[in-house]
Amino acid sequence: MKRSSLPQLARRTWPLAAALALVLTLTACGAGFKTVSVKDLRAASEPNRIVLDVREPYEYAAGHIAGARLLPLSQLQSRLDEVPADQPVYVYCHSGNRSKQASEILAKAGKKDIRDVSGGILAWEAAGYPITRE
């Protein structure tokens, strides 16, 4: 390889190198929670698991996963003590955005086994799983 072509190579590959460095950094840091599917939640068998619905009360009343506890994202910071630190906690919302935010908050607060349910109640219903209004 000629010396003059080395700077050209560096200019062409630096975005790839920067992206790789970012991925490695984020992987090393860890998100503090796992992302799971609705199928994983449906198959969950931990007897002490908690299913946390972080939507608003009107959304919960329209239909939720049986046994889910309502703890809206808008109230989560002030009610962190209601979430045990040492039990599996499955977090879901409508589509997955708020549950990811809630999972980040819970992980930063020291909760150990947080599982963000990808796709939320929309994915749950699309999979044909039941909801309740009780």
User: pLDDT tens for residues 54-109?
Assistant: 999 999 999 999 999 999 999 999 999 999 998 999 999 999 999 999 999 999 99
The pLDDT, as a whole number, for residue 117 is 98
Q: How confident is the model at residue 16 (pLDDT cuts 50, 70, 90)?
A: low
Q: Is 93 a catalytic residue?
A: yes
Q: Give residue 109's identity as a one-letter amino acid code.
A: A
How many CA atoms within 13 Å lie on the side-chain side of 83?
A: 34
The active-site residue out of 41, 50, 91, 93 is 93
Residue-wise over 50-69: b if at least 16 C-beta within 10 A, else e? bbbbbbbeebbeeebbeebe
